[in-house]
C-alpha cells in the first residue's frame, strides 16, 4: 500500500490496481472564499496549489471516499475543503464510484455523483474485495457541531494490506476511541489543523485531543489537514515540536504536499517526494 498525500485532507490510497481518492478538494489556490475573516487572516482557500504530481495520480483514480459533504442539504454550506466544485466535476466527468455516509447519499446523487455505498454509522459493507466500516464523527465542540456536517470516519480493510482508519473531521469522541481500541488499525489518519470558524469552539481535535488520539492509536499515525486552509492555525513545524515535547514524534508522520508514504508489513517504511 502507498499513501500519496496531495493537500489538506485530500490523499490517494494506492493498493494494487486500485487508487482511492479521499475527500477531493481539487481547485486552484484561492478558488474558495475564506473560512474565517476575523479570527484569522482572511485569505482565500486553498492557500496552496496542488503538488506537481497531483495530475498524474488523479488520472489513476478508480474510487473515492467522501467523509462528509453536506450540511442541511444546502449547497452554499457544502464542505468545500473536502469536496469543492473541481472535485465534483472530477467525480462526475469520470463517473468515479463514491463511498460516503448514508445521510449524504441523496444529496450527492442530486448533483450526478455516483454513490456506490451510502454507509450507516458502524455499518460494514463490502469494498474492493475487502471491507469498509463507517465510524461516527462529530465535527466540532459545543453547539457548532449541530450546524456542521457530522460525517463519518472510515475503517478500510483491503485484501493483503494493512488496515487504515481515516478519522475525518472530528473531535475525540467515545466512537473514535472505540475505533482505535477495538478495531486496532494498522495506520490511522488524524486531522491535526485545529480548524476554527469566527464563532464557536474548534471544529477539530484540540492539540490535547490529538495527542490522546495518537497515544490510543496502536500503530503509526499520519497527521494531515494542515497548511492549506486559512482557518487552520496549526502548522507542521509547530505540530512536530509538540510531538517531540511529548515524545511521540517517532509514532507520527506529517507528510508534505506531494509526498508518498509506503506501508509494508503494517509499518510505514518510506517517505519520499514523487
Is residue 140's pLDDT more than 90? no
Is residue 267's pLDDT more than 70? no
pLDDT 10s digits, 165-210: 999 999 999 999 999 999 999 999 999 999 888 888 888 999 999 9
Range in 41-55, 101-115, 193-207 with the lowest mean pLDDT: 193-207
Is residue 270's pLDDT more than 70? no
pLDDT 10s digits, 236-259: 999 999 999 999 999 999 999 999
Nearest Cα neighbor of 95 from 110, 113, 111 is 113
| 3-state SS, residue 166 | strand
Helical (H) or strand (E) element with 164: strand 164-166
Nearest Cα neighbor of 138 from 102, 171, 177 is 171
List 108's β-bridge partners, or say none.
Answer: none
Is residue 266's pLDDT more than 70? no
Kindly indicate the confidence band of residue 143, based on its pLDDT and cuts at 50, 70 and 90. Answer: confident
- Assigned C-alpha cell, 161: 494490506
How many domains in the chain?
1
Residues of the chain with pLDDT > 90: what percent? 83
- Assigned C-alpha cell, 84: 469543492
CATH code of 227's domain: 3.60.15.10
pLDDT 10s digits, 202-234: 889 999 999 999 999 999 999 999 999 999 999
Q: What is the rounded distance in angstroms from the CA atom of residue 188 to the CA atom of residue 175? A: 14
Helices 236-245 & 207-216 angle (0-180, nearest 10): 60
Is residue 274's pLDDT more than 80? no
pLDDT 10s digits, 5-40: 999 999 999 999 999 999 999 999 999 999 988 888
Whole domain around residue 39: which residue ranges? Answer: 2-273
Q: What is the pTM of this model?
A: 0.95
Amino acid at each position: 500500500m502507498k499513501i500519496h498525500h496531495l493537500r489538506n485532507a485530500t490523499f490517494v490510497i494506492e493498493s494494487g490496481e486500485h487508487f482511492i481518492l479521499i475527500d477531493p478538494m481539487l481547485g486552484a489556490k484561492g478558488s474558495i472564499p475564506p473560512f474565517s475573516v476575523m479570527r484569522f487572516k482572511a485569505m482565500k482557500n486553498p492557500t496552496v496549489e496542488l503538488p506537481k504530481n497531483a495530475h498524474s495520480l488523479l488520472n489513476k483514480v478508480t474510487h473515492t471516499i467522501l467523509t462528509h459533504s453536506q450540511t442541511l442539504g444546502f449547497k452554499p454550506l457544502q464542505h468545500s475543503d473536502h469536496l469543492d466544485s473541481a472535485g465534483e466535476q472530477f467525480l462526475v466527468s469520470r463517473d468515479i464510484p463514491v463511498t460516503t455516509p448514508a445521510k449524504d447519499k441523496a444529496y450527492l446523487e442530486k448533483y450526478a455523483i455516483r454513490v456506490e455505498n451510502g454507509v450507516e454509522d458502524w455499518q460494514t459493507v463490502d469494498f474492493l474485495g475487502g471491507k469498509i466500516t463507517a465510524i461516527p464523527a462529530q465535527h466540532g465542540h459545543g453547539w457548532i457541531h449541530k450546524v456542521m456536517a457530522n460525517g463519518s470516519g472510515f475503517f478500510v480493510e483491503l485484501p493483503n494490506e494493512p488496515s487504515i482508519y481515516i478519522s475525518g473531521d472530528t473531535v475525540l469522541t467515545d466512537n473514535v476511541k472505540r475505533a482505535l481500541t477495538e478495531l486496532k488499525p494498522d495506520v490511522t489518519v488524524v486531522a491535526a489543523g485545529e480548524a476554527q470558524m469566527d464563532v464557536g469552539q474548534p471544529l477539530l481535535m484540540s492539540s490535547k485531543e490529538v495527542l490522546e488520539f495518537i497515544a490510543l492509536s496502536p500503530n503509526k499515525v499520519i497527521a494531515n489537514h494542515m497548511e492549506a486552509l486559512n482557518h487552520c492555525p496549526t502548522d507542521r513545524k509547530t505540530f512536530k515540536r509538540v510531538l517531540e515535547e511529548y515524545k511521540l514524534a517517532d509514532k507520527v508522520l506529517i507528510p508534505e504536499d506531494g509526498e508518498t508514504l509506503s506501508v509494508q508489513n503494517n509499518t510505514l517504511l518510506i517517505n519520499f517526494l514523487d
